[in-house]
Structure 1
């Protein structure tokens, strides 16, 4: 690409724009990105969710402004389409690419899945056995996690964008000295430009890498006994398969056939033509499904988990008490402690009750014998169970009333409101499961309290 003529050449998305105009765009984009980085993203995130939400809105607005600037240098055809039209074009492009590189598929094809407002795999033949939504998340712990994940991905994006801007500036510099040529920025020869490296592109890439990695046998690497080593890889067509829980003893629903050099979906039942073909993604919480995969399974998650966080007030941070916490294996610099609460028994690890015993101690004694005696006194045990019971009851009250998504009826919505309605229904499923967990563990703590009376 030449940087000295009046317009860009090659296949750049900035084709047809004046170079001097593009340089001004780079300078302004760099200023905006640097400002967001220095004022917000280079600092440690706050633990206050109100401040975190306020910061989130600033980040979101800044990224929107950056995206609008980038659109001015994108192809017109990419910006004038509606959301649905862009998705259809993207799917057509994907299928064209899959055919071009020789990705073949048997018995399955891609189709729109109305239940998840996205694409999935359906059976193309008979197959036999063998084979403002963020705020709506409150009071789920996922509200804070979503803000932190968005912040983290935004931080990464701005870091890379600033590097790509420097590479773009280097490409289009009027004169380059020999010394400058030796110090080429890292992305100077990449297809990425300040115009085409958008936040939507980056977060889509992060989602693909973090949720779509498959382990496949290497053609080259071998282990000690000569078997192919498993290496991470992407299988794009297979990644269109949606999730469902599998009944029976199937431990995996995807298999890589060395004999046929292809990925196979193991059918756990008979599939009729046009029937959805899903795979088992693995056991994880509804929270993780929504945060990383963008949906909540419609079936009941019998291994769902609630993430409990307990902050330590200043009155509980004496050196002796903190040493007891650290002896349990907690990080020395932390004053916020996290625990996993299960939907079925055992509801939590013994570590949580041990934490509660230390938390409610009126006085931390100097000798180990005195501490152990105080921790295991009947009065302290009763206070520990009472503390946990009240904590779960308080969390439960915060949910107030959640609508059962099965009973929700929605009028024929517009494209955007339909998207929101589907996502809200998923969040309601998430909350219902969290309410069930909190209710069960609260009742369990109450039973333990009655046992100590």
Structure 2
């Protein structure tokens, strides 16, 4: 009798647990549907007030989703990455990686990085990573994920998302070949996907504020999209994804891809890949010193410069702006010689000369442009921006004249002969307009920003805005000088 009674009680308890789980799932599905609708109907706009209002709606729903998911997830406290490096080194060695004279070390302001234990001369071979150690988009396509990729257009066209889902599958697989690598990855990142609403607001008036909202909205939509796919489609692989697919895990996987992905040419095809160990190198100015050796089927990294023992080893991530590094890698590089600032510009729908201006912009391949760059340095005005402001400030007669040209190439050039062909009247109007625009944007940055930079996010925001102010100051000086040099009216 006692056993039967116990069995009935256990059955009742199991039934209650199942009912609770079903209720939680229904509640979660309802929130996800709301999130998908929110992130699908919004149209990108230059009205940042509306963009922010929309973001707060998304954030509120995501907060509910994260709370529900955390209530049913069994998240263990993460071990330190340093404690996992010995297994990582064993795995690297057993699979043919060569990293003699290199160790992993904690660096202030950098988290983990690679440190030289030997002396390396500029151009010498630092490390090699065999192809089989790399986790690539092709590995994802050859895995159990292939069935999902075959029916999903997003995965068929976006290698970075494919790699993110594959990473989640492998992270949840205790037998994964890449487990030692996955174990040393960061548990979270400093990308904008981890910013609080208050931290995002600190970005204003930086153009990166708008870009951050767009990125956040895009990732939230992807999460909702895949959540529904995983719960609706009847594919064996999705049962494995079901166990690990939460917003917290998805933003981790996406941030891992954003901060560590590389494009390699394998078998004459560009492939998105993770390259273990090599991707722990931090960024410094220089030239690209890494390549894939097709004959030896391995990635090779050469010394950017001389490195002494106990010195951090850096590589060059490429000619990227701080806005790009901040948005996709979660850091700012103050000495960035390739820095630029993006201006949102366009021809108003109320402009009576709109069609004429757009036709002329189309001749130069600029019809679809909505943002133009101002660069750090002696030549801050990009060719595209120069052409736009010249066309933007033309009158009807000038537009007719330039539209009659087959290809009005002089409009994109700063050469003296081109400037003479364009005419000082157009250039004066164009430069004056851009000077005013840059001056207004510069004035919107607080003088001596007093933000208490306690968090890494806040420190990066402050540094980003300081770099942007430097770009604007240089552009303003350049435009003032350019106007002074124009012939008197």
CA distance in 1, matches of 2:474, 2:46: 28
Equivalent of residue 385 in structure 2, options 352, 357, 364: 352
Which stretch of structure 1 is more off in the superposition, 55-64 or 126-135? 126-135
Shift of the 388–237 alpha-carbon distance from structure 1 to 2, 3 Å rule, reads same
Shift of 1:320: 2.7
C-alpha contact 2:304 2:314 (8 A) present in aligned 1: no
The C-alpha deviation readout for 1:64-95, integer Å capped at 9, x for no partner, is: 211211122222x52xx4xxxx3x34664576
Shift of the 58–109 alpha-carbon distance from structure 1 to 2, 3 Å rule, reads farther
Shift of the 23–106 alpha-carbon distance from structure 1 to 2, 3 Å rule, reads farther
Shift of the 40–259 alpha-carbon distance from structure 1 to 2, 3 Å rule, reads closer
Partner of 1:136: 202
Which stretch of structure 1 is more off in the superposition, 36-45 or 282-291? 36-45
Equivalent positions of 1:290-305 (< 5 A) are 290-298=326-334, 300-305=335-340
Shift of 1:402: 3.8
Partner of 2:72: 73
Give the secondary structure class of the aligned counterpart of 1:284. Answer: coil
C-alpha contact 2:357 2:399 (8 A) present in aligned 1: no
CA distance in 2, matches of 1:452, 1:17: 85
CA distance in 2, matches of 1:95, 1:56: 42
Equivalent of residue 280 in structure 2, options 210, 234, 240: 240
Partner of 1:326: 362
Shift of the 127–325 alpha-carbon distance from structure 1 to 2, 3 Å rule, reads closer
Equivalent positions of 1:312-323 (< 5 A) are 312-318=347-353, 319-323=355-359
Give the secondary structure class of the aligned counterpart of 1:312. Answer: coil
Aligned length: 385
Shift of the 399–385 alpha-carbon distance from structure 1 to 2, 3 Å rule, reads same
Shift of the 124–196 alpha-carbon distance from structure 1 to 2, 3 Å rule, reads same
C-alpha contact 2:374 2:471 (8 A) present in aligned 1: yes
Equivalent positions of 1:154-233 (< 5 A) are 154-166=220-232, 184-185=234-235, 187-189=237-239, 191-193=240-242, 196-215=244-263, 218=266, 221=267, 231-233=271-273
Equivalent of residue 111 in structure 1, options 84, 101, 105: 105
Equivalent of residue 434 in structure 1, options 462, 465, 468: 468
Give the secondary structure class of the aligned counterpart of 2:232. Answer: helix
Matched, 1:308 2:343: yes
Shift of 1:295: 0.4
Shift of 1:197: 1.0
The C-alpha deviation readout for 1:263-288, integer Å capped at 9, x for no partner, is: 44323444444432221111110111
TM-score by length of 2: 0.69
Equivalent of residue 429 in structure 2, options 369, 378, 383: 383
Equivalent positions of 1:332-343 (< 5 A) are 337-343=370-376
C-alpha contact 1:306 1:437 (8 A) present in aligned 2: yes
* Structure with greater helix share of residues: 2
Shift of 1:236: 2.5
C-alpha contact 1:285 1:301 (8 A) present in aligned 2: yes
C-alpha contact 1:325 1:358 (8 A) present in aligned 2: yes
Shift of 1:347: 2.0
Matched, 1:51 2:50: yes
Task: Give unmatched runs, 5+ long, in structure 2.
Answer: 1-8, 126-197, 406-420
CA distance in 1, matches of 2:403, 2:241: 64
Partner of 1:393: 439
